[in-house]
Structure 1
Amino acid sequence: MLTIYSSKHHLHHGSELKDGTVSASFEKPQRADMVLARVKAANLGKVHQEKEFDRSCYVAAHTERYIQFLENAWSEWTATGKQCDALPLVWPVKDLGNANEPEFIDGKLGFYAMDAGSPITAGTWEAVKASADTALTAAEQIMCGQHSAFALCRPPGHHAAKEYMGGYCYLNNAAIAAEYVLSSGVKRVAILDVDFHHGNGTQNIFYERNDVFFASIHGDPKISYPYFSGFDYETGAGQGTGFTANYPLPRDTMWSEYVMALENALQRIQQHDTEFLIISLGVDTFKNDPISHFKLESEDYFKMGDLISKLNIPTLFIMEGGYMVDEIGVNAVNTLMGFEGRI
């Protein structure tokens, strides 16, 4: 399988507010390096660098003013004399909410963020742009005849919505890739999110549309981040009614329970007459992941990939979560090997 990778991801690393403390982020550059090392060790296939795409590809999934914010946030932050990571100060919650973008950077950071886990640093924009380009390059390769490809994206993207960042995510790589293939002539796309955390951003972007079917299998939001989305009654709205499927699962879910949700989601994807499948590949469902609480074993990822392959649809895998455990590369590559029948 062809892998697309950008070394520019090293430009982004930062801190997060978690458990009452500002500390180094769990989303570290080593994540992608460990996956790449496993790709090479397993002889998965060729590794290519990303190519640059026009910023209009990012706006297709987001908004112009949000993209402008990401481009300019660091320069606006440092213009105030600060050199530390830029994190939000205040959020427009409930009665503070309105659609007016503040003029000052402290206000903008809260306006365009869902949490304090996605810092803006000096290299953030270049890194997230390269991550989106990685997904776009892989999508382009599939449109040119590859049956499948792996976009080793970092930072991840599935928590980034049309107009906000969060959960280590800034640009929604899966949504950007979906918009690209739709603009290239594909009529029906499906996105299957197997990350432990609900893909709230992807759901937000496509919730009222019927050309993209979105399914997410994740920890129950009653006890799991991002807490405020991913309930099974969220099934779409307007023209998109019935084109979203959520599978919230309880703490300590094992493969025997997980696979039932996966099989149902794959059946729904087939019923959508899907022409192009995107997998938001988070491997934080692993039993030892430090910020999740499912109990999948490394061998289970072979089975996951094998089940996905049976749809026989052109498939783009996009790296999402999975945090600093030695098995992150093993589990990601096991999924890809399972998809290729190398079990």
Structure 2
Amino acid sequence: MAITQFRYSRIPAEAEALRGEVRQFIDDNLSDYPPVLRAQSWMGFDAQFSRRLGARGWVGMALPRQYGGSDAGPFARYVVIEELLAAGAPVSAHWIADRQSGPLINRFGSEAQKDRYLPAICRGESYFCIGMSEPNSGSDLASIKTSAVRNETGWVLNGQKVWTTNAQHSHFMIALVRTGERNPKARHEGMSQFIIDLSLPGVTVRPIRDLTGGEHFNEVFLDNVQLDADALVGEEGRGWDQVTAELAFERSGPERFLSCMALLKTLIGELGRAPDALQSREIGRLTARLLTLRNMSLAVTAQLAAGEQPTWAASCVKDLGNLFEQEIPEVAQLLLECSPSQQGGTQHEQVLAYLTQMAPSFSLRGGTREILRGIIARGMGLR
């Protein structure tokens, strides 16, 4: 199973050729960007930076040219986002629209939806969030209660979503909701996806403050929200199948193991050119794991490029990647006698403080560890 799921995949030469251009763009635009902001990685919000990326054709680049994309393959996009994340570029504004919402609309949406939403996504001007988790549901999406009921003008939406990243900044949310009766024997049936304009009456977004004082997650309340008939994405009742395809993109990319790159860089800088034996061993061990995770992620990218649905393999990348990311702050404190510092201190101490507080959330976003390991167990035939 592991051999077929994780075959070594090399980035094609035409995609690799983009790397130097992206690095130059980063140097030109982020030369004075401080490490503590780079530590925010794909959670860093900067609308102007997203528009500049869009102008270069690096947002929605895998989407068709007729909608503003570049018809680029998955590996070309991989090179671009790998360089951006490794540098800690602030890509959060367009991130979900580029990674999930745009491809979902392109695959399952109507022609009118593609014409309406995709060009603005490709310009880096339209921001999306994903409405999946709910109170008392977490990553068990089959237990969601938010519902959409047909009426004479479309659909009436009621319910609540939680842990919705960037909802307070987003223009739209693609939500998974119930449109049919719950069937205990077929828990994944009767769900559909809708595009929700977050400016509509009845939508309330309430940020959730995290340990760092930031507001990345949100609660979204939906109280008799009237949606037009064309807000439905794809087929009614096929929401679970659509979400399953979407999650493979969410769980397999380099964002699942590069969240602590800023800390790894400041740590190596503090250790200098003459680390002791323990420091050398631990940096070597982290580097080996990083390269292994990258190869696993590229293997999933190859499967996506071939039109496959590597749900099991993508879950492996996320689970192992989260373990790696969460270990880096612990290793950093083992190797250097310094304390995390939110006020003052060195750049390394500030980055260490931020990522020590953020690390627990890495295994929550995009599906909890328990859910992922259930998917992995099924993929291995263990349940």
Larger Rg: 2
TM-score (norm 1): 0.31
* Higher-helix-fraction structure: 2
TM-score (norm 2): 0.28
